Amino acid sequence: MNKDIKGLCLFLGLIGIGYVALLVLVALLTGAKILKSIMFISVFSSFLISLGLTPEVKQRLALYLKSLTYK
């Protein structure tokens, strides 16, 4: 995949994760029932982020997460 496309996927994914954080804050403060929207946007943003990462970075993140769970 082209580096520009990977960068765009990472950028859009991070914007989506930020939007999810904002929606969670709004839901907590107002009591709005927007759980389905939050879940859909977070899954889609995570997918975009995973598309933009290189295999080396994915492997390092997986090793880091495994080290956190085994402590």
Percent of the chain's residues with pLDDT above 90:
63
The pLDDT of residue 65: 86
Q: What is the mean pLDDT of residues 42-62?
A: 91
As a whole number, the mean pLDDT across the chain is: 90
Mind giving me the DSSP string for 5-69?
A: HHHHHHHHHHHHHHHHHHHHHHHHHH----HHHHHHHHHHHHHHHHHHS-HHHHHHHHHHHHHHH
- In this prediction the pTM is 0.77
Percent of the chain's residues with pLDDT above 70:
99
Residue 2 confidence (pLDDT) above 90: no
Residue 33 confidence (pLDDT) above 70: yes
